[in-house]
Amino acid sequence: MACQVPTDTPSSFDIHPMHKIATTILLAATALVATSQDFKGLVNIKEKDSTIIVDLMYAKPDNFVGEKMYNFSEAYLHPKAAEAVKEANRMLQASHPGLRLIIYDAARPMRVQQKMWNKVKGTAQQNYVSNPANGGGLHNYGLAVDVSIADCNGDTLPMGTLVDALTPTSHIDKEQELVNSKKITAEAARNRALLRSVMKKAGFRPLRSEWWHFNYTTRADARKNYKVIR
């Protein structure tokens, strides 16, 4: 029997000069961190489907940049992409009761994208991060999502690597070779295929180099018809 899925400043007039300096530094640092105010017009995915788990990897320092870049815990998407994620989760639960999607990243401001690019520029990992100078990626429009599958206890299914493992083992185009060489298990390959199946049926496009990343449209379409998140 499948287990149940839970639903679930004061005025500166009287401030000491040193306090003013500290406040200015704090505000400058905060400006580099994304806040929920960046996502006006976008949709909080939990308001679309409360059974989807949200665990934003950039809301804590344990990520490839090594620092916290969000001061919120909600996943925001363009309304069209949010509706598609809801549909993908519905299809997953219909075909595999007890399973559900877990979101690790969704809409992302361009200033956070710049911090990511600065971290990987000039390294072997730069091919995994969109360059803001070239318009960034679909996350910067609320049209991409980093996602996996969890069971009813919230435990993620094996996928062969952690999310954001920026290595060839995360690629989806040669998964049978990865299985044959024992770099990932056959179970992980099946789980990746299940994730791609429901996401593609809902209207998303997988990314060759990252099993967890899905785009709702093309970059050309996003730049022409959608607003970038600064």
Tens of pLDDT, residue by residue, the chain (230 residues):
456 544 443 333 233 333 333 333 333 344 457 787 889 999 999 999 999 999 999 999 999 889 999 999 999 999 999 999 999 999 999 999 999 999 999 999 999 999 999 999 999 889 899 999 888 999 999 999 999 999 999 999 999 999 999 999 999 999 999 999 999 999 999 999 999 999 999 999 999 999 999 999 999 999 999 999 98
Q: Where are the alpha helices (DSSP H) in the chain?
A: 17-31, 45-48, 79-95, 110-120, 175-180, 186-201, 219-225
**Which tokens go with 111?**
């200033």
DSSP state of 34: B
Q: Return the pLDDT at 195.
A: 98
Q: Return the pLDDT at 222.
A: 96
Q: Return the pLDDT at 138.
A: 97
Quote the CA–CA distance of 169 and 100 in Å, as a whole number: 24
Which residues have a Cβ under 8 Å from the Cβ of 7 and sit 6 or more positions away? Answer: 50, 51
pTM (predicted TM-score): 0.84
CATH assignment, 17-225: 3.30.1380.10
Strands 100-105 and 210-215: unpaired
